[in-house]
Every structure is written in C-alpha cells, then in structure tokens.
Homo-oligomer: A and B are copies of this chain.
Amino acid sequence: MSELKYIDLKQCILEDNDNVANEIRSLSKEKKFFVWNIMSSPGAGKTTFILSVIKRLMDRFRIGVIEGDIESTVDAQKMQALGIPTVQLRTGGDCHLDAAMIKKAMENLPLDKLDIVIIENIGNLVCPAEFDLGADLPSMLLSVPEGDDKALKYPLMFTVCKALIITKIDCLSMFDFDFEALQINVKKLNADLKLFPVSAKNGAGMEQFCKFLEEIVNEKIQLLI
C-alpha cells in the first residue's frame, strides 16, 4: 500500500499567514508605527467609531487607514474626507482580511510618516478571528443591539482580542443587554480582555478609550526610539 499524503490546507494557509504577520510586526517596529485591527459583525459601528477616534487623536498622531470590504468604497471615502491616507482593500467575496493583503496595502501607505495604521476588517465575527494581521491591538466591537450572548456563540473572536468595545450604549434603554452576564462569559474566555462601553453618537466613553489607545501607542513608539 502506498503512503497516504495528508495535507491540511487550512493549517498551511494559517501558517503562511502567521509568517507574513510576523513580517508586519518587524516592519512596524522598524518604521515605528502602531497597528490596530478592528473587527466586528456587520453594522456594529466600526466606521463611525473609527472616525470618532481619528477626530480626537489626529492632532497628536499621524494616522493611516486600511479599509477592508467585500464590495464598495463608501467607508474609505469617509476616511479620505478627513484627509487621512487610506487604502481600500476589496476582497471581492472573501470574508476576512489576511496578513498578505495587509502587507500589500501597507506598501501603498506612507509608513515613514505614520504613527498609527488602523485596519477596518470585514464585518464578520467568525473568520477574521483566525487571521493574525500582526496588529499590536487586535480588537472587536460588539454593539448593544446585537445582545449580550455573543461570547457564548463566537468564542474565538473574544479570545484573540485585547480590547472589547461595546458600541451604541446610547440605546441601552431600548434593549435587554446585561453587562454583567457579558462580563462573566467574556472573563471565562479571556481574563485580560479590556472592556470599553462607548457611544460614538453622544461621545460617552470615547475619552477613556482614546486615553487607553494613546498610552499603548506611545508606549510602543517610545520603546523603539
């Protein structure tokens, strides 16, 4: 009987991805910029939140954006309107961004002149969690209307992130959202995950999040100088 060759394609893809993610980590150290990856369900408010953060920090940091979308350029246009260097990645069907796409996008950004590169991932709570993009801060948004049970259903996303931003808290009164239940489930998966309740609409919690981001960006950049 001949030898059976077994190739785990998914394993190969993820290993290749990890290698490129490490290249991105090296590049971000060499060029002294911070990489922030933002994941969430469709419609959790990524674009609105990112725009709000940029407006608060653009006088202190030089920011660039990589916009991931299956189709359309509507979000990228909003970033450009702020005068932010923006690269649109169109996956044309793929449900996540991978490290090779990010590396390619970074070739089109003025990295020597940036402090922070923001990645707006595809709206999807599943697949993007599997792909390391070499980010200093992998993070996720969970909007109040989505409900407090998402950690039970999409555990990997909550495991790989370092910050969980609860968005749309201005409409808490409209929904049964149990912060305590969420926290209990989240802590079981990832005790180090930092929680930030925010409303980009009325500004609640935005200062606390921006302060946190400012500190970790400065920490990385100052270590490299």
Contacts and interface: CB of A to CB of B under 8 A. Distances in A.
A111 to B, nearest CB: 27
Q: How many copies of the shown chain assemble into the complex? A: 2
A71 interface: yes
A126 B156 CA distance: 18
A124 B125 contact: yes
A18 to B, nearest CB: 17
Contacts of A69: 153
Nearest to A185: B72
A42 B156 contact: no
A93 B153 contact: no
B43 A147 contact: yes
A215 to B, nearest CB: 30
Interface of A: 9, 41-44, 69-72, 74, 93, 95, 122-127, 143, 145-147, 149-150, 152-156, 168, 170-171, 174-175
7 contacts: A41-B41, A41-B146, A42-B154, A95-B127, A123-B125, A170-B174, A171-B175
